[in-house]
Amino acid sequence: MDRIIAVDYGDARTGIAVSDLTGTMAGETLTIQEWNPERLAQRLAFFAGERGAVRFVLGLPRNMDGTEGPRAEKARQFAAMLEKESGLPVTFWDERRSTIEAHAILHAAGKKEKKHRASVDAVAASLLLESYLGSLK
């Protein structure tokens, strides 16, 4: 199996999680600070090439009733940029509650609220990735 990269896209910080080679769990996680969507797409395309990734899974922000708002439209625009830049397919994945769950995980691990900002996006990306990978089984 080839690597899959999950992306928790944000205006200033974007969480990234990369699957292990078996495609069963998240391995590497990180947060990228980038405000420019075009530059972010370029950085992610390069990152994916370095790791031999075959697909991106992009969190799609939906309202709790399942409808889509302005954040979902931004994610769709970013996905088009990312596909063009990387040549890889982008699969949308429902990210409802992923950030809330990520905060809960960090809190349970004893992390102080102020420290969450640095890692919450990477944790949210790993939750997206593990949910996606679980659906493949």
Domain boundaries, the chain: 3-64+71-135
pTM of this prediction exceeds 0.85? yes
- CA gap 16, 3 in Å, rounded: 13
Position 25 confidence tier, pLDDT thresholds 50, 70, 90: confident
The whole-number average pLDDT for the span 65-91 is: 94
**pLDDT at residue 120 in the model:** 79
Nearest alpha carbon to residue 1 among 44, 75, 53, 66: 53
For residue 17, give Cα distances in angstroms to 6, 20, 66, 81, 83. 5, 10, 24, 19, 17
CATH node for 3-64+71-135? 3.30.420.140
pLDDT of residue 124: 87
| pLDDT reading at 113 higher than 80 | no
What's the average model confidence in pLDDT over 129-136? 91
Going by C-beta distance under 8 Å and a sequence separation of 6 or more, which residues neighbour residue 77? 37
Residue 99 burial (CB < 10 Å; 0-12/13-18/19+)?
buried
Token readout for 45 is 């395309």
Residue 100 pLDDT: 64
